[in-house]
Amino acid sequence: MLGSRRQKERQAHYCLLVNKSATRYTAAAVTRLTDRIRAEGKYFSVLEPETALAMAEEAEKVAGLAPGGQKALPQFISRRGKVTALIAAGGDGTFNLVARAAAKVGLPVGILPLGRYNNIAQSILGSVEAERATQAIISRKYAKVDYAMASGLPLFGSLGLGFVPELAKCLENRKPPRLVWGWNQLGTKVAEEVERRQYTIQLDSYRFEVSSRLVMVNLQPRTLGIGFSPVSLTDDGQMEVQFDVIDSPKVLGNYLRLTVRNGYLYRSEIRQFRGRQLTISPVQDQWLYLDGELLQLPTNILEVRFANEQLRVFC
């Protein structure tokens, strides 16, 4: 259980940044939240940016980070007083864009999980239900959770190279398997299409030379809706790093099957280590799955370092 405390503000003003393109978006879910805020006698403002870039820009503006600071805010927001919390209404990618602005100025963040997987909501709230998330926001009780910088990109949940980006692409165009053996077949098929690469991994003072299809970094337990790292804690200052060391797509198929069942024990085929500072190379032009988004890496070294501060999240 995360240690929590109540936000101390004389007059709460929530700014909801809503991703209407999120998989599970409904206007009703947003309305239920704003109705609860109104019933509590608090203020709210709603923004609906149409693109990821606009979402990041609006979050920075509301946080007072744009040129002109708070004076740059639209009048319909500023007249309700200073914004005291940002609410990410969407999936993991939306949370990342909103939380990176909140982290810079120490604002708390709320989650209204409307994405496909909602890994961060599940990890922090223990639920992806809108009612549970709404209650967490209304209570204004928050916990401090870790986040990191991955070669300049804020990381709040997890990232993956090789197997995970390809699995994410595959799942975009199909429904997840209903049975665990279907996951085994899917994992094997995806692994067969992933190039095995040579990496140098340095985690704290330990250095590994590995040949892998799978490299994952987890700050929180879940990725793609799957508990890849069930031992992960959101506030312990440690990341979990996983990679395979056996040249066998069937090993990754079995690994996926067992993680879906929450039963994989990391051992000789796929290893897991914990630490605070990480570098992985070479990674030039590889696809990176980071908090629900697929990105192509422009640099040859991926560095992951914990931020000096923690993020405040309503829970």
Determine the average pLDDT of the residues in 232-246: 94
Point out the domain boundary residue: 127, 145, 163. 145
Report whether pLDDT(214) > 60: yes
pLDDT in tens, 36-83: 999 999 999 999 999 999 999 999 999 988 775 566 676 667 778 889
Q: Which domain-ending residue is among 145, 161, 184? A: 145
CB distance 76 to 91 below 8 Å: no
Average pLDDT, the chain: 92
Give the whole-angstrom CA distance, residue 122 versus residue 313: 13
User: For the chain, how many residues are written?
Assistant: 315
| 110, 248: one domain | no
Structure tokens, 265: 């024990």
| Lateral strand order in the sheet of 148-150 | 153-155, 148-150, 302-306, 277-281, 197-203, 206-212
Helices 92-105 & 52-62 angle (0-180, nearest 10): 30
CATH of the domain at 180: 2.60.200.40
Instruction: Please list, in sequence order, all residues whose beta carbon lies within 8 angstroms of the beta carbon of residue 277, skipping any fewer than 6 positions away.
Output: 203, 204, 304, 305, 306
Helices 130-139 & 27-39 angle (0-180, nearest 10):
30
Tokens of 197: 């690469």
Helices (H), 173-291: 180-192, 249-260
Whether residue 201 lies inside any domain: the answer is: yes
Domain membership flag for residue 13: yes
Domain co-membership, 60 together with 78? yes
CA quadruple 280, 284, 286, 289: dihedral sign: positive
In-domain check, residue 313: no
Residue 247: the pLDDT is 95
Q: Tell me, what's the pLDDT at 69?
A: 56
Domain of residue 79 covers 4-145
- Supply the CATH number for residue 92's domain: 3.40.50.10330
- Token readout for 283 is 């990674």
CA distances from 29 to 35, 38, 97, 312 (A): 10, 14, 20, 23
Residue 147 pLDDT exceeds 50: yes
Q: CA geometry: angle at 116 spanning 7 and 84, to 5°?
A: 20
What pLDDT digit, counting tens, does each position of 157-205 carry?
A: 999 999 999 999 999 988 999 999 999 999 999 999 999 999 999 999 9
- pTM of the full predicted structure? 0.92
What pLDDT does 138 receive? 95
Position 168 scores a pLDDT of: 97
Domain identity same for 158 and 290: yes
CB atoms within 10 A of CB 2: 15
What confidence category does residue 1 fall into, taking pLDDT thresholds of 50, 70 and 90?
very low
Query: Residue 133 — φ and ψ, nearest 5°?
Result: -65, -40
**pLDDT grade for 91, boundaries at 50, 70 and 90:** very high
For residue 210, how many other CB atoms are within 10 A of its CB?
16
DSSP SS3 for 228: coil
The residue-averaged pLDDT of 303-312 equals 96
Tell me, what's the pLDDT at 150?
96
Q: Is the pLDDT of residue 296 over 80?
A: yes
Q: What is the model's pLDDT at position 11?
A: 85
Q: What is the pLDDT of residue 308?
A: 92
Same-domain pairing of 98 and 222? no
Domain count, the chain: 2
Contact at 8 Å (CB) between 44 and 136?
Answer: no
Last residue of a domain, one of 101, 126, 145: 145
pLDDT digits (tens, 9 = 90+) for 2-20: 666 666 666 899 999 999 9
Window from 127-136, 228-237, 261-270 with minimum mean pLDDT: 261-270
The pLDDT score that the predictor gives to residue 70 is 63
Whether residues 183 and 258 share a domain: the answer is: yes
Q: Read off the pLDDT of residues 125-145 as tens digits, 9 standing for 90 and up.
A: 999 999 999 999 999 999 999
Residue 199: predicted pLDDT: 97
Instruction: Let me know whether 29 and 123 are in one domain.
Output: yes
Two tokens, residue 215: 């490299």
Q: Do 242 and 130 share a structural domain? A: no
Instruction: Please state the rounded mean pLDDT for residues 21-39.
Output: 96
